[in-house]
Amino acid sequence: MLHVDLDQFIAAVEVLRRPELAGKPVIVGGRGDPTERAVVSTASYEARAYGVGSGMPLRIAARKVPDAVILPVDHEAYLDASEKVMAVLRSQPGATVQVLGWDEAFVGIEGGVPEDIARQLQLAVLAETRLHCSIGIGDTLVRAKVATGFGKPAGIFRLTEGNWLHVMGDRPTIDLWGVGKAVSRRLATLGIKTVAELAAANPADLVPEFGPKMGPWYAQLGRGEGSRVVDDTPWVARGHSRETTFQRDLTEAADIDGALRELAAHVMDDVAAEERPVVGLTLKVRYAPFTTTTYGRKIPATSVPAEVLAHALELAAKIEPGRPVRLLGLRAEMTMPEDSRQGHTPTRSGW
């Protein structure tokens, strides 16, 4: 199985539209104005060389690279480019494609030499879209996904059971797909700092810290094990969310109320297209200067915007009075298609 990952995707799409930007540090984020509150969506390799990365405040990125070209986010352009790439992948003989996002997908193809198939995919994507991609080859989805990072940019790398620990063993656990900073720190408190140490861990020993499901799963990640099937079942959103970073902190209750009402209206517009009721809400609040808190609750299943708004306003009552609010976000969790068959509602998940 292969993991196809487009190189510096958003920046690459912008360079295709503006060829004169090739080779220059390009940063994409917000409305393209570093004086506004916004974060970096992506940066070209030239900008990354200065330490610019996704999620960094745009003003800091501009400070790091004074001569960078800063562009606004154009979702429609990236979606269009993504759809063209996925169409190329699906057009390959015998290919099963599992889309992970705008810029990446798993591809399963039976038979043939994996490296040869990977090169053919790269050439096909480049010919049709003028975009470069890196490809990881693996005997599990986890290994294929991790392998891609060793192939960047525009390369190919293979990870299997045979070379997994040789390549990954001495690396920190945060280098694993699915292990972030918080989990990595928690593993470190258990004396597990490297992939090899996680691979050797007794899954039962991880249960007290991570629970009966996630504990064994993290041990499995350490060994690079997991699914060996590329699933092309269409992805179904569990929820929809919207958030807004305010150019000026909100301090008045009326302003917060108005902002939340606007967010709720947008979220319910997104939910309406799904034709599934809302069963949970999560309110995200970022207080100035940069402290983030979430408040969540399950709600009786409903598709009525006014009822969802009422529950959202009840959550908003938990916002600490007097603290300036920098960002508000609202996420609505919906029932999933399988819930009606299984007789339960999904658990809430946050950002």
What are the pLDDT digits (tens) for 50-78?
A: 999 998 999 999 999 999 999 999 999 99
Mean pLDDT of 267-279: 94
Mean pLDDT of 289-305: 95
- What pLDDT score was predicted for residue 115? 97
Q: Report the C-alpha gap between 144 and 80 in whole angstroms.
A: 26
Write the pLDDT tens digit of every residue in 110-121. Answer: 889 999 999 999
- What pLDDT score was predicted for residue 341? 46
Catalytic residue among 14, 46, 104, 197: 104
- What pLDDT score was predicted for residue 268? 96
pTM: 0.82
Q: How confident is the model at residue 231 (pLDDT cuts 50, 70, 90)?
A: very high
Q: Is the pLDDT of residue 342 over 70?
A: no
Mean pLDDT of 85-114: 95
Residues 6+ apart with CB under 8 A from 17: 77
CA-CA-CA-CA dihedral for 78, 79, 85, 87, to nearest 10: -160
- What pLDDT score was predicted for residue 338? 65
Mean pLDDT of 128-149: 97
Residues 6+ apart with CB under 8 A from 93: 109
- Superfamily (CATH H level) for 1-160: Reverse transcriptase/Diguanylate cyclase domain (3.30.70.270)
Domain 239-342: assigned CATH number? 3.30.1490.100
CA nearest to 156, candidates 170, 173, 138: 138
Q: Do 164-222 and 239-342 come out as alike in CATH topology?
A: no
Radius of gyration from C-alpha coordinates of the chain:
22
List the structure tokens of 296.
Answer: 């969540």
Fill in the amino acid letter for 260. Answer: L
- Residue 104 is a catalytic residue: yes
Q: What is the mean pLDDT of the chain?
A: 94
**Any idea where the domains of the chain sit in the sequence?**
1-160, 164-222, 239-342
- State the CATH architecture for 164-222: Orthogonal Bundle (1.10)
**3-class secondary structure for 205-269?**
HHHHHHHHHHHHHHHHHHCCCCCCCCCCCCCCCCEEEEEEEEEEEECCHHHHHHHHHHHHHHHHH
Fill in the amino acid letter for 202. Answer: N
Cis peptide before 153 (omega within 30 of 0): yes
Contact status, residue 141 vs residue 226, Cβ threshold 8 Å? yes
- Residue whose tokens read 């029932």: 335
- What pLDDT score was predicted for residue 294? 96
